[in-house]
Amino acid sequence: MLVDRIWTKARLLPCTGAGAVDDALVASLDGRIVYAGSIADAPAGLDALDVHDCEGRWITPGLIDCHTHLVHGGDRAHEFELRLAGASYEDIARAGGGIVSTVAATRAATEAELVAQALPRLDALLAEGVTTIEIKSGYGLDLANECKQLRAARELGVQRAVNIVPTLLGAHALPPEARSADAYIDLVCDAIIPLVAAAGLATAVDAFCEGIGFTPKQVARVFTAAGLHGLRVKLHADQLSNLEGAALAAHFGALSADHLEHTSAEGVAAMAKAGTVAVLLPGAYYFMRETKMPPIDALRAAGVPLAIATDCNPGTSPLTSLLATMNMAATLFRLTVDECLMGVTANAARALGRDDIGSVAPGQQCDLAIWDIQRPAELVYRLGFNPLHARIVKGVPA
Ligand code: DI6
Ligand code: FE
C-alpha cells in the first residue's frame, strides 16, 4: 500500500486509552491516519515517498487548547499592576475596567488588526505542538463585533496550519450601551445566535454564569436559543462562586463545563450523568491567586472526563503555553501525567465535540506532535522548556 507519509522508528503515545508503543510507525493518506502501531504489525508492503526516521522520538496527538479567548484587542497589563497593588478582579470590573475595557479595544480594532494582534499569541501556542485551538468571541457584545471577532478567528486558520474551533460567547459581559441584562440577552437570543448559526461562524455557544456575568435563568435562555439553531453549548461555570452552573450546563447536554472551582457534589453528579467534560483552567486559578480548587477527586470518582486548557485571555489568564498549563494542572491541581496528557488531547477533543482528532489511531485526522523527549512525563515536568521537534497538521509537516 502506498501512502503519503510514514513516520517510523518512533515511540507512540496514542491517547486512545491503550498504552505506549515502542518501535512505532504512523502512516497518513489524504490527511488521515491509516496505520498507527508497532512496526512489526504494520501491513506488508506499506510504503511512502516521504519516510521520516523519528530516531526514537515520541509521537503524541497534536495538542488541543479547548478553551481560549485568543482574539481580542489590546491587553490589560495595567490592570495586572492594579491587582498587584491590591484591587480585586471584581473591583476592577465594577469600576468599568476588566472585560468591558477589552470590549472597547476589540470594537475599535478592524478584523485585520485583531488577526495581527492574535498571531503572536497563536504562534506561541503552535510552537509547542498545538494543532487545534478553540477561540471564543465575547469581546464584541453586539452583532457586528461578535461576527468580526469570529471571522478573525477563522482567518487565523487560513494564515496558519491549525484547526480553529470558533465559539460564540455573546453572553460574556453586559455591553455598556445595554438597557438591562435581560434586554441584552434578548439581542443574543433573537439576533446574534440566529445570524452566527446561519453564517456558520461558530459551532458552539458559551456563556459566563456568574455574579459579574449572567444569571442561570439568562444562561438557560441563551442555551435554549442555541439548541433551536443547532449549536452545542458549553459554560463558564462556578469560577468565582457557586451558581450551580455545572448542573445547568449538564441539564442542557453541554459539551463541557469550564473552571468549576466552586462546583458542588450535585454539579459533579449531573456532569457525570450527561457526559459533560470538565475543562480545568489552572492558568486562571494561578493568575487570580485562587485558593479554592475544583473538586478534582469528586470529578475523578464520578468518571467525568478531565480536559485542561490555557483560557488565554487578557484579564485572568494571559497564558500562551499549553505545556506550562499542563505543569500547572499537575502542580496546582495534582493531576497525574496521564491525566494532563489526556486533558490536552482526547478529552480536549471531546470538550469540543470532535471525534476525529485528539488521538493517534486509524481514521483520525493526522495531527501529530513529535517530541525530543525520553518519556512523556517530560512534557509536564519542565516549565519554560520546549522540546517540540515537529508539528504535523492533516498529514503535512507544518
Ligand atoms: N472567565 C474568565 O476567566 C474570562 N472570562 C470569563 O468569563 C475573563 C475574561 C476577561 O477578564 O477578559
Ligand atoms: Fe474563559
Q: What are the pLDDT digits (tens) for 173-182?
A: 999 999 999 9
- Residues 236-269 pLDDT 10s: 999 999 999 999 999 999 999 999 999 999 999 9
Dihedral sign for Cα 381, 385, 388, 393, please. Answer: positive
**Separation CA 369–CA 359 (nearest Å):** 11
- Ligand 1 contact via 311 beta carbon (within 6 Å): yes
Distance separating alpha carbons of residues 77 and 351, to the nearest angstrom: 30
- The tens digit of pLDDT for each residue in 349-387 reads 999 999 999 999 999 999 999 999 999 999 999 999 999
Residue type, 54: C
The reported pLDDT for the residue numbered 212 is 86
Q: At what angle do helices 99-108 and 143-159 cross, to 10 degrees?
A: 70
HSE-up of residue 220 (Cα within 13 Å, Cβ side) = 9
- Vertex 93 angle, CA 92 and 98, to 5°: 85
Portion of the chain with pLDDT greater than 90, in percent? 96
Closest-CA residue, ligand 1 atom 4, reads 316
- Nearby residues of 14 by Cβ (< 8 Å), 6 or more positions away: 20, 21, 36, 61, 359, 360, 361
Q: Nearest Cα to 245, choosing from 214, 221, 289, 202?
A: 214
How far is ligand 1, taken at its centre, from the CA of residue 315, in Å?
A: 6
pLDDT class of 95 with cuts at 50, 70, 90: confident
CB of 316 closer than 6 angstroms to any ligand 1 atom: yes
Closest residue by CA, ligand 1 atom 2: 316
What is the average per-residue pLDDT within 179-186?
98
Pocket test for ligand 1, best of 313, 317, 319 (most atoms within 8 A of CB): 313
State how far the Cα of 134 lies from the Cα of 173, in Å rounded to an integer. Answer: 19
- Reply yes or no on whether the pLDDT at 94 is more than 90: no
φ and ψ at 97, to 5 degrees?
Answer: -90, -145
Please tell me the distance between residue 207's alpha carbon and the centre of ligand 2 in angstroms: 9
Residues β-bridged to residue 168: 205
SS3 call for 118: helix
138 pLDDT band (50/70/90 cuts)? very high
Say yes or no: CB of residue 208 within 6 Å of ligand 1: yes
- Whether 59 and 373 have beta carbons less than 8 Å apart is answered as no
**What pLDDT shows up at residue 96?**
78
If you search the block for the grid coordinates 490589560, which residue do you land on? 76
Give the phi and the psi of residue 307 in degrees, each rounded to 5.
-115, 160
Buried b or exposed e, range 347-377, using 16+ CB within 10 angstroms? bbbbbbebeebbbbbeebbbbbbbbebeebe
Q: Is the pLDDT of residue 89 over 90?
A: no
Q: How confident is the prediction for the chain on average, in pLDDT? A: 97
Q: Under a CB-based contact definition with an 8 Å cutoff, are residues 168 and 134 in contact? A: no
Listed residues: CB within 5 A of ion ligand 2: 311
What are φ and ψ of residue 325, in 5° steps?
-60, -40
- Does any ligand 1 atom lie closer than 6 A to the CB of residue 98? yes
User: Letter for the amino acid at 338?
Assistant: D
Distance 316 CA to ligand 1 centre (A): 6
Ligand 1 nearest-atom number relative to CA 102: 12
Return phi, psi of residue 44, to 5°.
-60, 140
Gap from CA of 352 to ligand 2 centroid (Å): 14
**Alpha carbon separation from 368 to 144, 181, 295, 299, 322 (Å, rounded):** 36, 44, 31, 29, 15
Of 297, 258, 338, which Cα lies nearest the Cα of 65?
Answer: 258
Where residue 96 falls (left for φ over 0; alpha for ψ -120 to 50; beta otherwise) is: left
Report the alpha-carbon distance of residue 206 to residue 294 in Å, rounded: 20
Please tell me if the CB atom of residue 314 comes closer than 6 angstroms to any atom of ligand 1.
yes
